[in-house]
Amino acid sequence: MGVTTDGTAQGGLLAGKRLLVTGVLMESSIAFHVARVAQQQGATVVLSGFGRGLRITRTIARRLPQPAPVVELDVTSEEQLAGLPDAVREHVDGLDGVLHSIGFAPEAALGGNFLNTTWDDVATAVHVSAYSLKALTMAAKPLMPRGGSVVGLTFDAAVAWPKYDWMGVAKAAFESTARYLARDLGPEGFRVNLVAAGPLRTTAAKSIPGFEEFERVWSTRAPLGWALEDPEPAARTCCALLSDWMPATTAEIVHADGGVHAMGA
């Protein structure tokens, strides 16, 4: 396997793959590192952004090994979802994989306010953080006539976490959505999997009140150890799922968390 002057691999794990990566807002984000590793492994990457974050995504896109094009996509906008295929085709002729790295909950839905959160705030969290997996997958589907890999990022929703509240509920819905998508789209060649990463000091994490409580758990319970500022393990796991090396794996949640998920008290 050769390496080009920009550090990308010739014949890498993702050689020839065309990927749409959502959620790149900071260099610290897992999505940025998925895009970086994917390019280094031979993939062509298109990013998406929306609203006030679109300009930031375009700036961050220039910091990848190869500057990546950015399309506008608000996953709550039916108009923009419908326009995704045409927007992507301006840069590549189709897709082989999609990374869903999108999540949001209003402040009132986090931080220990679980019993008092209104439906409007809960509905926003579920729409953006769970239903959007189905919406994004179906929007990208015309670009993937032979199927492909859809990978999403979750934070293990099998248990109730301190202060995570309705985002935890939304992540549980997200995980269930992935299983139903895997069921319904498997016959068309789609694999739908999630990566449950341990806590990382990303932009998303900074918006979670009490995030330091997660840090304490991982600092003492990860048998492999856990680096709070290293998105590389999670990014590599996502890229493995986006590749052809796991052809019979779908409806799975792969943990990239240092082993915490399997440890008792």
**93: number of CA atoms within 13 Å, CB side?**
1
Structure tokens at 146: 């032979």
Known binding positions for substrate:
105
Amino acid identity, position 80: Q
In angstroms, how far is CA 147 from the centroid of its own chain?
18
Helix and strand totals (H; E) in the chain: 10, 9
Looking at residue 226, what DSSP letter applies? -
Q: 3 in helix, strand or coil?
A: strand
CA distance 135 to 127: 10
CA distance 91 to 107: 36
Known binding positions:
23, 29-30, 74-75, 102, 105, 171
Known binding positions for NAD(+):
23, 29-30, 74-75, 102, 171
CA distance 17 to 13: 9
Could you tell me which residues are beta bridge partners of residue 217?
none
Could you tell me which residues are beta bridge partners of residue 151?
99, 193
Strand residues in 12-155 grouped as ranges (E) = 18-21, 44-49, 70-72, 97-100, 148-154
